[in-house]
Structure 1
């Protein structure tokens, strides 16, 4: 028997018609972080891991890493001892709830850990993850892959005494993966994104490269001569096009500032409103509906005031419905979108729209209908749930072909494809809970399913 499930359950109990871009008062960091927050990751239980250069969070000692409850309070069950001795730049959540932490540190909780450490869910060091000497210089980015391997990028030239020019792949046990070896010119990598075909798009300060799965350069990707100032962020869209943000004012000799979209071959996408930000774009996320959330240190988008956070339409024009008003009063270094559509910002701001939020704030991302209103709408169905090999989704009109995206509970979009019968093979997904965002016509829905 087919069971029907009401989509949109993740935020169905939120207040009706929350203003898009407005501060979400349900997350209050209190005194917050006492220095910049640079990294953030979400746990399946809605708790939040943050990292940066802070020593205290809400008046409690938390050296450069902390876990927050969903309401923004410090989680006392997460104990990292003396923490990191230098900046934390990256955090990645594993499906087993272990936590990868990277940065500039050489010591973590009085233990030698050269720029990378894996923690158990309680904050203790996972001693089964052994990276040896680790990286000989800063790690500035990390990406967890579906097979448990970890891509890291940064300023290093070796990993565990083996030459690696700015980028390396690590096995789940911490050893170096010798099947990946970039042998090009030394690069400093501040962002890495993996394409569904296994290739990597990496930022090399003022250039962008695409690497094959073995680390060799993909010469079919031709983005031109690069930029005049640093690139900071990369986002691979669901259609394969590549968004790039940073501090640059030129791209391949053209006057294009701070945000650009590239075709899959690296050439400039001229259908996009390139160069709309007046200053640095440091973080970019594609929403399920194709709209783009950007954050950084800009003050205007296409001449319209948007302080540090904005939403763009799929063509790069400003979405006027997303209005942060005064927004953050200083730089936003990173943002993540929760599965329920709300957005968490971290950085070096002290206020959001004139309300105190020391370096951590959550804002509304969608205008959700109330529970009562949604309950009267036609339902969509997902079955089976729990599922093992495949899932099927049908809209209110059963013959509709939908558009779908599958995410893990940290908000990472997964490479799961649906056919024209709205069926997806999930046999390769690890056991766990997942979120599906779907659209039928002008209606969009969100639901969870369990892979067993």
Structure 2
């Protein structure tokens, strides 16, 4: 999402204050961030496994990381940490952790920062007793839970809520709409079938009664066995775009839903019924998975994910016009599948579309952080990393090449900020910490870079 010119100026100035001019190639670790471009945050004894699943960049350039922290007793909590603009750990913030009363554990999937500095965190809650439900919590700028959030018809204490009457559900993504309303996307088992789930709350965290059925929408395309939504974005018109994948005749394909902002109903101006399936089918019966979406200022929709090829799973991007038709200015037909394919490719987790139209996909491959950049017209951007892609790990911080996973990528004053976890093993015991990295990206002057 593009910042206001004032916010971009504040962030640019704050980054300039902690760095000197440099011109490292795009896509390589920024040596002025953290420790050689990398940083990890440990949650201390009793916290065996932790992973950052959300990034929030504050107006002054500081970075909020949030995710889950698993304790020795296997209880999992929401964890938060803060980095300074230069990537050093902000110890004044501490390591807040929170487990709502009435829950056994929580699993964080994503987070979004409100304009007032509050942080909305979503994921999945294990209830005391059987059942899992989609979870949403809100935190104040100091890391404490916001007790003024979700005060009406709430099964939990204010500050967090599970989606009532939605057993076996999860929230995978969240977007803060310009109106202040909060929209979640995920999935729910309903009548023994996995359905897409979209929930909208008002700015206070209570259900938006004007949206779908009392704030909760359940989506399932025709002739589909299972549907899972994994990302959501807002259009310039205030509508919602949710993406994911569905099984149609045992073949997984990308699914792009567009819902009217006014009431959550399918937008029939979008491909006729509010749904645009994308079945790439490089190989017969090959499963394709969409993971991320971004809506451009002109209303075009960018989707990123994986397409199954003969050599494994291949990163892919698609671009649609506001009405759901393919935007043929991307590789001639609106779809680009990169020839870099691998059976060990674990997935695409997030995407940033830069102000010049370049598309950055991030995730992990073969146990390392991974980022790849595409040109606006399609094709790999060879000015980024090594031929358009970059792998890196945290061995310089952990002392070993462990398992590293990137979940999120964000614009940090024009540079690229990635977050996830780094896993190392000591005395045969695995241990994972929050991990963040920043990549140089000096070509994108419009995003506030020197």
What residue is the counterpart of 2:231 in the other structure? 191
Is 2:225 the counterpart of 1:179? no
Q: Show structure 2 runs of 5+ residues with no match.
A: 1-8, 44-48, 156-161, 222-226, 247-254, 281-286, 394-403, 425-431
Q: For residue 180 of structure 1, give the secondary structure of its aligned residue in structure 2.
A: coil
Which residue number corresponds to residue 319 of structure 1? 381
CA contact (8 A) 1:208 1:226 kept: no
Q: Where has structure 1 moved over 6 Å in runs of 4 or more?
A: none
SS of corresponding position for 1:105: strand
The residue number in structure 2 matching 1:427 is none
Match in the other structure for 2:350: 283
1:268 matched to 2:317: no
Instruction: Find the counterpart in structure 2 of residue 388 from structure 1.
Output: none
* Distance in structure 2 (CA, Å) of the matches to 1:165 and 1:30: 34
How many Å apart are 1:263 and its aligned residue? 2.6
Change in CA separation of 1:298 and 1:149 when aligned onto 2, cut-off 3 Å? same
Deviation (angstroms), 1:260: 1.9
The equivalent position to 1:236 in structure 2, one of 290, 295, 319, is 295
Whole-angstrom distance in 1 between the partners of 2:94 and 2:41: 18
Q: Is the 8 A contact 1:78 1:122 kept in 2?
A: no
Alignment RMSD: 3.7
Taking structure 1 as the reference length, what is the TM-score of the superposition?
0.65
CA distance in 1, matches of 2:359, 2:378: 8
Paired residue secondary structure (2:324): coil
Q: Which residue number in structure 1 is paired with residue 6 of structure 2?
A: none
In structure 2, do the counterparts of structure 1 residues 32 and 73 end up closer, same or farther at CA, with 3 Å as the change threshold?
same
Match of 2:305 in 1: 246
Q: Kindly report which structure 2 residues correspond to 1:57-76, keeping only aligned pairs within 5 A, or say none.
A: 63-70=77-84, 71-76=87-92
Cα distance 1:115–1:30, how it changes in 2: closer, same or farther (>3 A)? Answer: closer
Query: Taking structure 2 as the reference length, what is the TM-score of the superposition?
Result: 0.65
Determine whether 1:215 maps to 2:264: yes
SS of the equivalent of 2:299 reads coil
Q: CA deviation at 1:326?
A: 5.5
Cα gap change, 1:225 to 1:62, in 2 (>3 Å): closer
Match of 2:115 in 1: 95
- How far did 1:261 drift? 2.0
Give the Å deviation of 1:88: 0.8
Structure ranking higher in strand proportion: 2
The separation in 1 between residues aligned to 2:14 and 2:378, in whole angstroms, is: 28
Judged with a 3 Å threshold, the aligned counterparts in structure 2 of structure 1 residues 261 and 326 are, in CA distance, closer, same or farther, namely closer
Stretches of structure 1 that go unaligned for 5 or more consecutive residues are 1-5, 159-163, 300-305, 352-356, 369-436, 438-442, 448-452
Distance 2:447 2:363 in 1: 29
* Total equivalences in the alignment: 342
Q: CA 1:117–1:155 in structure 2 vs 1: closer, same or farther (change >3 Å)?
A: same
Alignment match, 1:27: 34
> What's the offset of the Cα at 1:95?
2.1
Contact kept, 8 Å, 1:342 with 1:362, in 2: the verdict is: no
Distance 1:30 1:193 in 2: 29
Shift of 1:185: 2.9
**Does the Cα contact within 8 Å between 1:328 and 1:349 map onto a contact in 2?**
no
2:120 and 2:325 map into 1 onto residues whose CA distance is: 34
